[in-house]
Amino acid sequence: MLTDTHLRDRCGIVVGFSERSGGVSLPPYASLNLAGHVGDDPVDVDENRSRFVEALGLALMRDRLVTAQQVHGEAVREVTDAEAGFGAFAAKGQGPIAASDVLVTLTPETPLLMLYADCVPIVLVCEAPRAVAVVHAGWRGALASLPEKAATELALRCGVEASSLLAYVGPHIHECCYAVDRKLLSQFVSKFGNICAVDTRLDLGVVVARSLLAAGVIPEAMTGCDACTFNHAERFFSYRASTVTGRHGALAAITKAE
């Protein structure tokens, strides 16, 4: 698990990216699969989600976890107290937030969870007023400048400049392993520059950074993760490495004001 304890100490916001280890799911979902839509046993998925939430010290918020039906779209949804617990459990209860790849909340004790296997997980944080956004950016979202939209929306809702936001970019497929067709690559190059192409491969990390920069997020406020999911399929889930697999997660939560 990847997290930032300094952020938590400073403002009570918890950010976490899960890995494959420490869960109860069997192959091909072994072991900490957090997704209920990939064919895994939903009871196991719920146990895995509980373990991840607990590992982040958020066990008391387990039932208020919020997930989304991720569709590679551009919708941004704000989560309020009324949606707390939507999609918290794969095996029971209220379903996830409908079609959305960006969740935003200013509500404490409402952890947001999105799921990934190669796509780019992004958590955006506003420290004052406290707010978080979780973004799911595959190539469609990246090409549509979804990171920029999410940062702009979060800043707007908080009444701050995007230059005051923090951005955490989690484990995703890197330019070493992400070959795409020439037509698609040329679309990225014309929008984000030559820097996002390496031979016939796409650097989604660069695209996301450029997109966040366009919103006004400063480079010093961006924290990345060096691991490529495809190269480290034993550590993270990778859809390109095996199409039937699980999903790791990105979670963000505002703890109760003390």
Q: Does residue 180 belong to the site contacting Zn ion (CB under 5 A)?
A: no
Shortest distance in whole angstroms from residue 198 CB to Zn ion? 11
Question: To the nearest whole angstrom, how small is the minimum distance from the Cβ of residue 117 to Zn ion?
Answer: 14
Tokens read off for 251: 């979670």
**Of 20, 174, 210, 247, the one binding Zn ion by CB under 5 A:** 174
Residue closer to Zn ion, measured from CB, 136 or 174: 174
Residue from 176, 179, 184, 244 touching Zn ion (CB under 5 A): that is 176
# of chain residues touching Zn ion (CB under 5 A) = 6
Site string for Zn ion, 218-247 (x = CB under 5 A): ----------x-xx----------------
Q: Which is nearer to Zn ion, 110 or 238 (CB)?
A: 238
- Is 35 or 228 the residue whose CB approaches Zn ion more closely? 228
Strands (E), the chain: 2-3, 13-17, 66-67, 76-79, 102-105, 112-116, 120-127, 130-137, 166-169, 197-198, 201-202, 222-223, 248-254
Question: CA-to-CA distance for 23 and 44, rounded, in angstroms?
Answer: 8
For Zn ion, give the closer residue by CB, 61 or 173: 173
By CB under 5 A, tell whether 172 contacts Zn ion. no
Q: Which residue sits closest to Zn ion, CB atoms considered?
A: 228
Burial of 257 (0-12, 13-18, 19+ CB in 10 A): exposed
- Please count the CA atoms within 13 angstroms of the CA of 78 that sit on its side-chain side: 12
**Structure tokens given for 188:** 């990225």
192 DSSP assignment:
H
Applying CB under 5 A, does 177 fall inside the site for Zn ion?
yes
Instruction: Please choose, out of 32-40, 84-92, 122-130, 169-177, the segment that lies near Zn ion by the rule CB under 5 A.
Output: 169-177
Least Å distance, CB 178 to Zn ion, is 7
Burial of 62 (0-12, 13-18, 19+ CB in 10 A): middle
Q: Residues 84, 86, 89, CA angle at the centre, nearest 5°?
A: 115
Answer yes or no whether residue 2 interacts with Zn ion by CB under 5 A: no
Interacting residue ranges for Zn ion, rule: CB under 5 A: 174, 176-177, 228, 230-231
